[in-house]
Structure 1
Amino acid sequence: MRRLAGHGALIVILTMLTQLGGIAWGLALLFRRRSLAFVLFYAGLSTGAMYVAPVMGRVPLSCLSDQALTVQSPMYCVLNRQYVTPELRDVLVDMSQHMDETFPGTVTQVLDANFPFVTGFPLLPHLSHHDGRKVDLAFYYRNGDGYSPRATRSPIGYFAFEDGPTQCPQQWPTLRWNLGWLQGLWRDLRVDEPLMVAALNWLGRDDRIGKIFIEPHLQASLGIAHPKVRFQGCRAARHDDHIHIQL
């Protein structure tokens, strides 16, 4: 019974993290060499999703691109978190091309997007990435020599927060993690303000975009006053480490 419960818990965890991993582990239980079987099944299901998902309304973003738009880490593709609707994909392509044309050499990096299938299926820990119409973008950063292409302060683009005032009280439950113990570990990079302003202004002007979330202190310091740029609320995750956009 304990072993069965353990397999059940693992299936749940893998499903929550990757959507398809629970299915792969369930199939792997039919074989003696479960780890190998899991890897093969998971790779097959993930590869198949890249061809099936477009039929159902979502397309994968490339983790191998050397162009102006790329997924920040292969981890997001391994976990099947790089899917968006074709319309949102087009927005991202147009935005990245605009940024590269305005500031040659600029690379726009995608963080968490959505799973390949099923509207309403949660992509934890996000509250709203469940329909292919939302995506997170990494900040543009610079070092002492100027803009630093493909650089992020943390290895996955999240959790390297920019300091600034907040009106949010301490409360529970909340996803507003400060993770102060991590902050000293990140790379010494600064937000590239001209690129951030250009990106946010372009997104604000695009009729396909409905909402843009960043922290109010960043909106103020960047001088962004577009009505689409909003505060996500005190119970949601901090947005001074990434930009959230949605159709």
Structure 2
Amino acid sequence: MLRVLFHIGIVASLTVLTQLGGVAWLIALLFQRRVLAFVLGYAALAVSAVFVAPLFGRVALSCLDEGPLEVHSWMYCALNRTYVAPELADALREAAEELARAYPGTRTQVLDANFPFFDGFALLRHLSHDDGEKADLAFYYRDAGGYLPGATRSPIGYFAFEQGPSDCPPVWPTLRWDMGAVQGLWRDLDLEPERTAAMLRILSDDPRIGKLFVEPHLAASLDVAHPKVRFQGCRAARHDDHIHLQLR
């Protein structure tokens, strides 16, 4: 019984993390060399998803491109979190190209997007990333020498918060984690305001985009005022470490 529960736990965990991993583990149970079978099975499923996802109205963002639009880390590709609706893929690509024309050499980086299949199957932590119509972008950063292409303060692009005033009281339950214990571990970089503000304006002017989430203190400091630029609410994850965008 414990063995069955163990495998159920693995299937559930892998499914939540990658959508396809649970299926790969079930296939691996048929083989003696289970770990190897899982790795090969998972790789086969992940590659197949690139070709099958369009039947579900989603396309994979390229994990090989380097600028002007690129996926921030191989991790997002390996976990199948880079799928979006074709309309959103076009909007992201065109926004990145427009920003790169205004600021040559700029690299716009996608963080979490969506899984390849099934509306309503959300990414862990991102409760709204469940239909191919949402994606997160990393902020742009600089040091004393200026803009740093492709750089982020944290290795995964999330959780390096730009601190500022907030009207949110302590509430529970909440996904608004401060993660104060790790803030000192991140790279000492500054937000690059010109590119960050420009991207928010480009996306705001795109009729395909319906909402953009950033913290109010950032929208104020970047001088970005637009009905599409909104506060996500006090119970949702903080948005002073990335930009959330979604189709109209």
Deviation at 1:56, TM superposition (A): 2.0
Q: Tell me how far apart the structure 1 counterparts of residues 38 and 130 of structure 2 sit (CA, whole Å).
A: 25
Shift of 1:197: 1.1
Letter in 1 for 2:151: A
C-alpha distance in 2 between matches for 1:234 and 1:147: 31
Residue aligning to 1:22: 22
Query: Mapping of 1:36-185 within 5 angstroms?
Result: 36-185=36-185
* Residues in 1 aligned to 2:213 and 2:115: alpha-carbon distance in whole angstroms: 20
Q: Distance in 2 between matches of 1:161 and 1:67?
A: 24
Cα deviation, 1:140-170, whole Å, max 9, x if unaligned, reads 1111110000000000000000110111111
Tell me, in whole angstroms, the C-alpha distance in 2 between the residues paired with 1:242 and 1:122.
18
How many residues matched? 247
- Structure 2: runs of 5+ lacking an equivalent: none
Structure 1, residues 165-184: CA drift from partner, whole Å, max 9, x if none? 11111111000000000000
Measured on the aligned residues, the alpha-carbon RMSD in Å equals 0.6
Given that residues 67 and 106 in structure 2 are in contact (C-alpha distance below 8 angstroms), is that contact kept between their aligned partners in structure 1? no
Q: Does 1:197 align with 2:197?
A: yes
TM-score between the two structures when normalised by the length of structure 1: 0.99
Q: CA deviation at 1:127?
A: 1.4
* Distance in structure 1 (CA, Å) of the matches to 2:107 and 2:244: 17
Which residue is equivalent to 2:241?
241
For structure 1, which runs of at least 5 residues remain unmatched after alignment? Answer: none
Q: How many angstroms apart in 1 are the aligned matches of 2:141 and 2:67? A: 18
Determine the C-alpha separation between the residues in 1 that align with 2:106 and 2:55. 32
Runs of at least 4 residues of structure 1 off by over 4 A?
Answer: none
Shift of 1:122: 1.4
1:44-75 superposed Cα distances (whole Å, 9 cap, x missing partner)? 00000001101221000112112300000000
Q: Secondary structure at the match of 1:210?
A: strand
Q: Counterpart of 1:7?
A: 7
Task: Deviation per CA, 1:161-219: give whole Å up to 9, x if none.
Answer: 01101111111100000000000000011110010111111111110000000001101
**Match status 1:31 vs 2:53:** no
Report the identity percentage. Answer: 63
CA distance in 1, matches of 2:85, 2:97: 18
